[in-house]
Structure 1
């Protein structure tokens, strides 16, 4: 039995589809089972509730061979560490007590760097990995770089203003990975019952791109000029606060972005294996995901 958390999310639903296609029995934890596609609901066992609830995870993990652990976003949390660790503690207890054999989670790059101790969300994510590892399960932490899908948050400004915004320097090279590639690696590990031990697997994407490079690719794919504009950290904080994010989580986000600016993601040197694991280029992603999203939101910029 393979248990998948966050099965309706951007990564989780892709993991579900791949594991089901392989013919393995799947159990999912879902707050709202109605959000599952009808064809998925017919083929999985559903445990309703939050995977931060001890009773829910105890029910879901009973008899589980493998678990895919994906933390939900909690923008209103009072503390970033507690958002990650507090939510995961009941699951860690269930993993230990119920003899779960293998766990795969989605985490972040940065372990071992000078920036990792004060990197907001990333620092908390690495602490979550340590908590899961402490249970003694066979464990793979998928240390992902920035998601290409984050660009989708700015589809409207790209469409209407021909711009997108962030606090990172325009020439600062970044690693970007498509969620489809994260899901593919996760599903491969969940379906493989032979691995043991504990390991971090960096997911870097096939190339480094600055925001200026990203703007150039978007412009070419959309056939119109799109440029990147760097904004002050305070402006980002104001935007996040206006969307309802708590002060603690805003600061955690700013700390993470500052750490990335200062080299948080740079410690891992890309190898051919990294490109094989995460082959989707940003241009391919723009053609297949961003461009349709822009069209769906109305006329092109």
Structure 2
């Protein structure tokens, strides 16, 4: 048996392995590292870290909370948008809630979850209370949950229930509220949801309510980004927080407004994306210009 061709093939394969190991396992990584050390690129290669007072305060590419020990928003800082990354703002667990606009019914119990609608309602009410503005939104109750009814009865060909036999406010339960957000629906008294009872057979009807069509609290204040780590907030959300931050720092709102404008980036290339404000960079600028005394 002639082994020479087989030996030549194996030798060629071994040479290719050694060449590509050197190229891709040594030369290529070293070249990328060297490029990352070039002036103007080093900061980005290192994660765009931001330092303040000799310590790393965070990354300009990643959102982070500006809260106290108990998780309460610090009044002297602009707050980031909500995060669903891990337990919140976890750079190792980037991600969204993956809940869509039709997710309107809460699932109670230890293994349950809060619907997207109720999360939005809760956040909007909390932001409204923090900023001293109207936090109401369409399809939200005054108590900050999704205003959703389960309507039982014979269904018409178009899927509606013109003559309900029973109506339940599925996101409100005894002990959380004294009465449903609406007393009657098409002449039928509305009940509070009972723990453990299944309402999936009912027609789910969100109720818009009388909240303004254009809420005071902007969308990015109540929804997380796709990554959960977007470091930017909208100029509208920054404007909403401006008076609170100025009061906490004891400075005139106009001075804080000017700082916000200085840290507002326009659309990329003039037409891509939307104007935005980097919350971390803005808060660090606040600490430098208007430090909190005491």
| TM interval, short-chain normalised | under 0.3
Greater fraction strand: 1
Name which one, 1 or 2, has greater alpha-carbon Rg: 2
TM-score (ref. length: structure 2): 0.22
TM-score (ref. length: structure 1): 0.22
